[in-house]
Chain A
Amino acid sequence: MGIRQTPTRREFVKVASAAVAAPYVITSAALGNAERAPASERIVMGGIGIGNMGRGDQGAFLGRGDVQYVATCDVRRGAREGAKDNANKKYGNSDCKAYVDFREILARDDIDAVHVATPDHWHAIMIIEACRHGKDVYCQKPEMRTLREGPLMIEAARRYSRVVSGGSQRVLEDYRGIVNKCWGGEAGPVKSINVQVGPLSQPCNLPAESKPDDMEWDLWLGPAPWAPYNKQRCDGNFGTSGNSWRSYIDYSGGGMTDWGAHHFGGATYAVDVREMQPTEVEYRNEDGKQYLAFHYENGITIFHNKPGVGNMHVEFAEAGQAEGKPVPAYKGTGGIYGDFIECVKTRERPFRDIELAVNTMVVPLTGTVAYSLERSLKWDRASQQFVGDEEANRMLDRARREPWQI
């Protein structure tokens, strides 16, 4: 277990030590069996933001014998209570508790790790706060909403030696064929890859509607600018065309960052620039068709929406040799969730370690700034600044609504 925090502070031990009058019986559930690790070796988890994606994530963790799921949190009563009931039904007890405010989960000493699937504008705050409280984190993609959030999340993870995994299961699972072709070497050196994804998110000015009684609206908005409740503003469906929070700039980068997290993640993995960030975002406008070329220091280019080129199309150099190399993959069993849990146990870096996730998200986020300003930009990774473009640098971040802060 290396530097893992000790398992002696598990719930059942607390119960045992507190049981003064009643005889202490070690149950078979606590001792474990072929499918279930002993309680002392389980990773104790809670979930924050437990709607669409969060419910799926909960199911994945709940199905694992090496996880004990003890807390759910959501600003919607139905979501948090439903997820809580889900866990309690699975375990046949009532140990899982439901919370409105994520800070109550982070304050619990018995919880080792959390998964986060709130809207994107909350991700950085929750990841950083979780690290400050000694929790490991699995966070749904896109892991960040602004460029400034990236290095701060990495810093928090490294400062406290936390395992922080981004959550894009598609990076490995959807693009394996392209990855194998690029990493295998037979096709020659990679020159470029194209990502087709969109749209950008838009300003939201929807009218006020009456708020459901079971929703904490101010907490849903959190660090985002205040706005009146409207169902379409906060709906968690996967659309990006106006009927969900994924459509709007205060909460999401739109398809560019939402599906973009998968596609750009797959592209950076395929052409092996996951450890890098682009040095230049070239804005092109050909006959009214806007598209981008992200240039990397090793000469590779990632295009965004290049006209006439399909999604994940790879261009190989006409000459030159490329040596095959082993393809990195998940650790443990159970896909990206198993990868995270395995790394929580071993303290290794997960497949979508937060630094790799940030490197990926820098692509669509710098691209969004370039589209917004309609000009090319140079990006300096060391300073995390656009070079010589003061207006672009203003867009690295945005003030958070009080009392939220990173």
Chain B
Amino acid sequence: MLDKAFDELKKYDWGVDPKVLKPIDEAAVASHGNAAERGKLEEQLAAVLASDAPRAAKDYVCRKLMRIGTAACVPALAALVADKELSHMARYALERIPAGEAATALRDAMGKVGGELKIGVIASLGARGDRESIVLLAKELGASDPAVSRAAALALGAIPGGVSAAALEKFKVQDGEPTVAATDAKLACAEGLLATGKKSEALAVYKGLAGEGQPKHVRLAATRGMLACAGK
């Protein structure tokens, strides 16, 4: 049954009934706790990524590897991050695979992709809370593409703390969305600092956002933060 399902997978395209792949779904659940079985399944799935199987087949594989993938399948996924059609689904797996190799692959991809694909990689690093990417993300704050700059700010906000806050202080105010994102990230960092008892650092961030030039809801957030720093 499983072998037949893998045969079906090689030609799995849009419009094919997903039930033909059910034995693979069942094997993924049944192999819980059996590293050897899981490893074999992972290997078979990863092999499809390097084949000329249809996009729908590779989409399916990435969904399965998101659930059961380990460091072993990371190279096969990493090879797709720069592929415009498959980049998202490669991240779909890489973002959720706990192995450090997955984070490394995403960091490595930062230098290989641009535009929207880079935004996706940045978002995945943020979602992973990958502290090792803070320096890389900080550099992207100054990207010429405002959408990349915005993505980097949001990702830093997802890894809140003093290091991200310091990076965000260097953010140069731009019109529109990058500034909205950077402001949100700074507030997230201030909350993180406050939660870990670093009141003076948090207060400095809040003070920087409490000025008249800020929108009212931001000033309100900053004022509430300052009161919290003062223990009120």
Residues on A facing B (Cβ under 8 Å): 3, 5-6, 103, 107, 132-134, 148, 155-156, 159-162, 202-208, 225-228, 372-375, 390-391, 393-395, 397-406
Contacts and interface: CB of A to CB of B under 8 A. Distances in A.
A107 B215 CA distance: 12
A397 B97 CA distance: 11
Interface string B138-161: 000000000100010011000000
B32 A375 contact: yes
B187 interface: yes
Contact of B88 (A6, A103, A225): A225
Contacts of A375: 32
A391 B32 contact: yes
Contacts of B17: 205
A227 B14 contact: yes
A402 B87 contact: yes
Interface residues of B, number: 55
B18 interface: yes
A160 B59 contact: no
Given A134-B217, A161-B220, A394-B96, A399 B88 contact: yes
Interface stretch (B41-49, B121-129, B162-170, B197-205): B121-129
19 contacts: A132-B184, A159-B191, A161-B220, A205-B17, A372-B29, A373-B29, A394-B66, A394-B97, A394-B98, A397-B95, A397-B96, A399-B91, A399-B92, A400-B120, A402-B117, A402-B119, A402-B123, A403-B147, A405-B151
Nearest to A372: B29
Nearest to B126: A405
Given A134-B215, A160-B217, A395-B67, 11 more contacts: A132-B181, A134-B216, A205-B14, A225-B88, A374-B29, A398-B66, A399-B96, A399-B120, A401-B120, A402-B120, A405-B119
Interface of B: 12, 14-18, 29, 32, 56, 59-60, 63, 66-68, 85, 87-89, 91-92, 94-98, 116-117, 119-120, 122-124, 126-127, 147, 151, 154-155, 176-177, 180-181, 183-184, 187-188, 191, 215-218, 220-221, 224
Contacts of B217: 5, 133-134, 160-162
Contacts of B154: 405-406
Contacts of A398: 66, 92, 95-96
Nearest to A134: B217
Contacts, number: 119
B66 A405 contact: no
Nearest to B116: A402
A401 B85 CA distance: 11
Q: Chain B at the A interface: mostly helix, strand, loop or mixed?
A: helix
Nearest to A393: B98
B85 A226 contact: yes
A3 B223 CA distance: 12
Top 6 A-B pairs, shortest CB-CB distance: A207-B15, A402-B120, A134-B217, A405-B123, A399-B95, A402-B116
B173 to A, nearest CB: 16
Contact of B119 (A204, A226, A227, A403): A403
B109 to A, nearest CB: 12
A228 B14 contact: yes
Contacts of A226: 85, 88
Contact of B15 (A156, A206, A373): A206
Contact of A205 (B15, B123, B224): B15
A205 B13 CA distance: 8
A309 B14 CA distance: 40
Contact of A161 (B56, B117, B191, B221): B221
A134 B216 CA distance: 8
Contacts of B60: 203
Q: Among the interface residues A161, A205, A226, A395, which one has the most CB atoms of the partner chain B within 10 A?
A: A205
A400 B158 CA distance: 15
A399 B32 contact: no
Contacts of B147: 403
Most chain A CB within 10 A, of B12, B60, B94, B123, is at B123
Contact of A159 (B97, B126, B221): B221
Contacts of A403: 116, 119-120, 147, 151
B169 to A, nearest CB: 19
Contacts of A206: 14-15
Nearest to B89: A225
Nearest to B97: A394
A328 to B, nearest CB: 25
A203 B18 contact: yes
